[in-house]
Amino acid sequence: MAEEIIVAGWMDYEPSDRDPMLRHLVEVGQRTREEEPGCLDYAMAADPSDERRIRVFERWVSQQSLDEHFTTAHIKDFRAATSGLTRVGVSLKIFSVAASRSMR
């Protein structure tokens, strides 16, 4: 069985570009969750203490599912729609999950 993959971190945008980017992320997130069975979770959120920062959390059934995500039509559309927005920083990491358990 393949190890689950988690993508986590943050992206910073010019303050005037953060909210437009978030709107695009809401749309691409919805399509990703609906159309990609390998996506277990896809969430982006504005950091309330930093007007530039978007927090990122994604969970995938496998690295292959994540790789396939980047080839979808909705990601190509997302990239075209956001090409004019200015990202000024990024820190994203991919984690391979060997095991997990419920907290309760």
Q: What is the pLDDT of residue 90?
A: 98
Q: How confident is the model at residue 1 (pLDDT cuts 50, 70, 90)?
A: low
* End-to-end Cα separation, the chain, in angstroms: 24
Q: What is the pLDDT of residue 41?
A: 97
The residues, any chain, with a CB within 8 Å of residue 39's CB and separated by 6 or more, are 32, 33, 58, 59, 60, 61, 65, 69
Residue range 72-92: average pLDDT?
Answer: 97
Q: Please tell me the distance from the alpha carbon of residue 60 to that of residue 40, in angstroms, as a whole number.
A: 5
Chain centroid to CA 52: 16
Return mean pLDDT, the chain.
95
In tens, the pLDDT along 48-78 reads 999 999 999 999 999 999 999 999 999 999 9
